[in-house]
């Protein structure tokens, strides 16, 4: 039996019109899964549907804001009616604000926490009952280097991603007996629209990250697909409450000595 085969599984990836979510969903489709995704507006959902179709993937797209419990509950009910019960949930949707903490408004802080932490709670809470009924489920929360490390200007994001690591452990603890595995996937610094502003060649942060990464490069979304398939598949049925960091070695490395 191919433990990494996702044939017959239905995977919901939040915020997956592009970026990391899109790459993971596309990888799941190639492993046999049926892909369902949401994004915040119809334009993005249509953009995502076109991108999946261009790869020969018939995805199902829904407009829903992960912070809106009514929208999420309605979407899950619609998915179960139109596609089927969700076997795999990837809580991917997220934002970042890079503002010095003392200059960040409480509203800005709350917005990041709402999307990056409350959102995964809301969506997980909506899908777990059907996973319990089905007798199995996989939940993968997209964590971050900021689940372990702080840095200037990302206080809200680090608080959210640190909380997401503990929400991951708590879901694993509370629902493991129902054969639900909940794990984190912790990307390092990845080339996506979210990091474009700090990845400009010659930008000090760009050089900094390359010096902090043993692999001496930014990650790509392709680097995340194999680990994401592992966490969604039967190959990880006894892995629970773990955060799998896919960071090229950043967390293990003090950083290259400046020349």
Residues marked as catalytic: 157
**Element spanning 99, H or E:** none
Q: Is 248 in the site for ligand NAP (CB under 6 A)?
A: no
SS3 13: strand
Among 26, 34, 124, 144, binds ligand NAP (CB under 6 A): 144
Which residue's CB is nearer to ligand GCO, number 52 or number 245? 245
Contact between 121 and ligand NAP by CB under 6 A: the answer reads no
Q: Which of 6, 25, 36, 115 binds ligand NAP (CB under 6 A)?
A: 115
Positions in 169-188 near ligand GCO (CB under 6 A): 187-188
Q: Pick from 51, 95, 211, 235 the residue near ligand NAP by CB under 6 A.
A: 95
Confirm or reject binding of residue 236 to ligand GCO (CB under 6 A).
no
Residue 228, Cβ density class (10 Å: 0-12 exposed, 13-18 middle, ≥19 buried): buried
Residue 195's alpha-carbon distances to 11, 39, 97, 254, in angstroms, are 26, 19, 11, 22
Q: Regarding beta strands 180-187 and 243-246, do their DSSP bridges make them parallel or antiparallel, or are they unpaired?
A: parallel
**By the 8 A CB rule, do 67 and 119 touch?**
yes
Residue 221 contacts ligand GCO per CB under 6 A? no
Give the residue carrying structure tokens 């493991």: 176
Whole-number minimum distance, CB 126 to ligand GCO, in Å? 25
Q: State yes or no: residue 144 binds ligand GCO (CB under 6 A).
A: yes
């Amino acid at each position: 039996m191919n433990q990494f085969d996702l044939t017959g599984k239905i995977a919901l990836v939040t915020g997956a019109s592009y970026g990391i979510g899109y790459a993971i969903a596309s990888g799941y489709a190639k492993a046999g899964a049926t892909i369902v995704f949401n994004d915040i507006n119809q334009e993005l959902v249509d953009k995502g549907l076109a991108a999946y179709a261009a790869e020969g993937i018939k995805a199902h797209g829904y407009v829903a804001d992960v912070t809106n419990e009514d929208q999420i509950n309605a979407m899950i009910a619609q998915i179960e009616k139109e596609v089927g019960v969700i076997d795999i949930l990837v809580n991917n949707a997220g934002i970042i604000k890079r503002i010095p903490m003392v200059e960040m408004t409480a509203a800005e802080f709350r917005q990041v926490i709402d999307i990056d932490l409350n959102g995964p709670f809301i969506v997980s809470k909506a899908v777990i009952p059907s996973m319990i009924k089905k007798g199995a489920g996989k939940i993968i929360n997209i964590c971050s280097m900021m689940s372990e490390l702080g840095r200037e200007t990302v206080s809200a994001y680090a608080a959210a991603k640190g909380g997401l690591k503990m929400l991951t452990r708590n879901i694993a603890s509370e629902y493991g007996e129902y054969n639900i595995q909940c794990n984190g996937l912790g990307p390092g610094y990845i080339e996506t629209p979210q990091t474009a502003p700090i990845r400009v060649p010659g930008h000090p942060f760009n050089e900094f990250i390359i010096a902090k990464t043993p692999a001496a490069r930014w990650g790509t979304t392709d680097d995340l697909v194999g680990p994401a398939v592992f966490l969604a598949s039967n190959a990880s049925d006894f892995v629970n409450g773990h955060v799998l960091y896919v960071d090229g070695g950043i967390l293990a490395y003090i950083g290259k000595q400046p020349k």
